[in-house]
Amino acid sequence: MQKKKLVVLTGAGISAESGLAVFRGSNGLWGKYRVDDVATIEGWYRNPELVLQFYNERRKELLKSYPHYGHEGLVDLEDVYDVRVITQNVDDLHERAGSSNVLHLHGRLMWVRSEKNENLRFELPADNCEIHVGDIASDGAQLRPDIVWFGEAVPMLDAAIDWVEEADIFVVIGTSLNVYPAAGLLHYVKRGVPVFLIDPNPVKDPYGKVTTYINCVASEGVKQLVELLSKEY
Ligand code: APR
């Protein structure tokens, strides 16, 4: 029998317990760096070395972090469901936890690409994961992070919408739902599909679709989700 499709939208909060900073809120990255300087194409043209340093530092943080049960519980659910993870995160913690289907809406931190040709991309090795001005791709163009900056197109959006439209169960974990088009994915959840939202803080649900709030951190929330699903679905 075909497994029910369980689609998950994750944000920075699912990686908080792995030691990676979230963006908004008291200790968020956007309190320390100006978004315009490090996460826009204008910032890149203004000062590429500053942008490269920002991502070099985040790569170093990522290499010191590990998945936790918030990531691993989603892998356990693959025994029962066809689990598809749509993440706004650029870390690779879902992959390292063992998730089979991960779609990165905002790119991947360990990957870099030619600034001229987005198809010329490769993954940096863990033991040499810094890039600087002057490091070039095979087409001779400057290497840049393979990250979707504010104002840039989100190439994986249509694929993400397809996944959401097919969901039998939808789960939102660790995102403030502040950023579009990611937050807009909730619009595509079919009527009658149960929507779980895991977050220790209150999150405004833009479309009134959430049916169950689990107000705790991701590791505990995923544990509760697994228990709830084992009883009801
Ligand atoms: N477990 C679960 N959720 C948590 C935890 C935790 N331990 N700690 C914090 N959170 C929640 C916060 O309450 C908040 O709702 O995670 C969410 C983090 O929100 P943001 O910092 O806005 O991160 P995110 O929603 O992923 O941002 C979306 O904005 O800057 C861009 O590209 C960037 O992908 C990012 C996008």
* DSSP of 120-173: -EEEPPTTS----TT-B-TTSPBEEEEE--BTS--TTHHHHHHHHHT-SEEEEE
Ligand 1 nearest-atom number relative to CA 17: 7
Give residue 121's pLDDT.
97
Task: Reply yes or no on whether the pLDDT at 232 is more than 80.
Answer: yes
Give residue 106's pLDDT.
98
Give residue 27's pLDDT.
86
Give residue 201's pLDDT.
97
Pocket test for ligand 1, best of 74, 175, 180, 223 (most atoms within 8 A of CB): 175
Give residue 1's pLDDT.
84
Pick the CATH number of 1-20+69-106+154-233 from 2.160.10.10, 3.40.50.1220, 3.40.640.10, 2.170.150.20: 3.40.50.1220
Largest CA distance in the chain: 56
As its CATH architecture, domain 21-64+112-147 has 2-Layer Sandwich (3.30)
**195-208: per-residue pLDDT in tens?**
999 999 999 999 99
Are the CB atoms for 196 and 223 separated by under 8 Å? no
- pTM here is 0.97
Is residue 68 flagged as an active site residue? no
Give residue 25's pLDDT.
84
- Which of the following is catalytic: 71, 94, 106, 187? 106
Measured in Å, residue 10 CA sits from the centre of ligand 1 at 8
**158-195: per-residue pLDDT in tens?**
999 999 999 999 999 999 999 999 999 999 999 999 99
Domain ranges (residues) in the chain? 1-20+69-106+154-233, 21-64+112-147
Task: Reply yes or no on whether the pLDDT at 97 is more than 80.
Answer: yes
